[in-house]
């Protein structure tokens, strides 16, 4: 009789020291370094009513409407509501109408921590689509938590680049319109006629053309005068040279300094 009693006593003493431990007695062992919640440990080791991890998750915007090729980026938050740190796989299940630009990855989320992720999807074909953010907290198990991302894809091509460039230009145009309005007001005040901003614009346009024309004419005139002056100088020089030639042969060699003296003359001088 003493032996069985001793054995039970021994088990009761050693039980808490054993490696596999189920503190709350729900049949799921407490998590350890080698046996985590991912492997199947109790996510709530001190609560016999619960053993699976619990998350709070949501994405913003809750719904989206996209044109073909248009992207949308959801900001998703995943909070670990349990008392144990978790390692989770986050995956985005796309739809035939969507292109998924999210790379699945593992994340550590401590107890009470909230993870924030950006999930980008773009419209691929027309239709009502349902993407899903999935949080896997256990190996070989279905998703522990999912967030639906309802998206309607229209049949229109996304004019993304065009609309971006258009959105940049209106301030410049409104500035021009305002100037024309001011000019029209000024002209109406200072002349006996009424001017619209379009007429003011025409006046500015015609004025600009006239100004360019005047500038061109004056520049051409200046060039013509310059040419004429040059022509007169060269004409005068030519006439002067002719005059010298006409005066007679005796001065001819004085004019053409570059002609060398003949070797015959040099020899004769040396004798
Ligand atoms: Ca347990
Ligand atoms: Ca439990």
Every domain of the chain and the residues it spans: 55-158, 178-244
CA of 87 to the centre of ligand 1 (A): 19
pLDDT digits (tens, 9 = 90+) for 180-193: 888 888 888 888 88
Rounded average pLDDT over 105-120: 96
Q: Which tokens is 200 given? A: 């003011």
Q: Select the highest-mean-pLDDT range: 20-34, 172-186, 243-257.
A: 20-34
d(C-alpha 87, C-alpha 111), whole Å? 11
Which one of the ligands is nearest to 23 CA?
A: 1
CA of 189 to the centre of ligand 1 (A): 90
Which one of the ligands is nearest to 48 CA?
A: 2
More confident position, 51 or 7: 51
Rounded average pLDDT over 212-237: 85
Asked if residue 100 lies in contact with residue 118, where contact means CB atoms within 8 angstroms, the answer is: no
| SS3 at position 8 | helix
pLDDT recorded at residue 237: 83
d(C-alpha 67, C-alpha 71), whole Å? 8
Q: Tokens 């003011």 sit at which residue?
A: 200
Is the pLDDT at 199 greater than 80? The verdict is: yes
Which one of the ligands is nearest to 25 CA?
A: 1
Rounded average pLDDT over 59-74: 95
Closest CA to 118 of 61, 158, 79, 67: 61
CATH number of 55-158: 2.60.40.10
Q: Of 3-17, 93-107, 121-135, which gets the smallest average pLDDT?
A: 3-17
CA of 50 to the centre of ligand 1 (A): 8
| In the chain, % of residues over pLDDT 70 | 79
Q: Mean pLDDT in the chain? A: 84
d(C-alpha 153, C-alpha 68), whole Å? 7
């Amino acid at each position: 009789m003493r032996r069985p009693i001793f054995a039970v006593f021994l088990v009761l003493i050693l039980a808490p020291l054993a490696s596999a431990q189920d503190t709350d007695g729900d049949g799921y062992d407490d998590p350890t370094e080698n046996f985590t919640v991912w492997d199947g440990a109790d996510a709530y080791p001190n609560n016999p009513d619960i053993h699976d991890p619990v998350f709070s998750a949501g994405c913003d915007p809750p719904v989206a409407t996209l044109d073909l090729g248009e992207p949308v980026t959801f900001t998703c938050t995943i909070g670990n509501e349990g008392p144990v740190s978790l390692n989770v796989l986050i995956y985005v299940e796309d739809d035939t109408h969507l292109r998924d630009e999210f790379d699945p990855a593992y994340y550590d989320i401590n107890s009470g921590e909230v993870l924030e992720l950006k999930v980008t999807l773009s419209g691929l074909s027309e239709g009502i689509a349902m993407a899903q953010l999935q949080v896997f907290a256990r190996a070989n198990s279905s998703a522990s938590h999912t967030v639906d991302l309802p998206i309607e894809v229209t049949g229109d091509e996304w004019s993304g680049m065009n609309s971006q460039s258009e959105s940049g230009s209106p301030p410049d145009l409104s500035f021009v319109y305002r100037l024309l309005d001011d000019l029209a007001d000024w002209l109406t005040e200072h002349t006996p006629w009424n001017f619209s901003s379009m007429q003011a614009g025409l006046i500015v346009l015609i004025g600009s053309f006239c100004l360019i024309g005047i500038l061109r004419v004056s520049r051409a005139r200046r060039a013509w005068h310059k040419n004429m002056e040059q022509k007169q100088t060269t004409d005068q020089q030519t006439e002067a040279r002719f005059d010298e030639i006409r005066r007679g042969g005796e001065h001819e060699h004085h004019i053409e300094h570059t002609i060398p003296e003949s070797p015959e003359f040099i020899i004769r001088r040396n004798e």
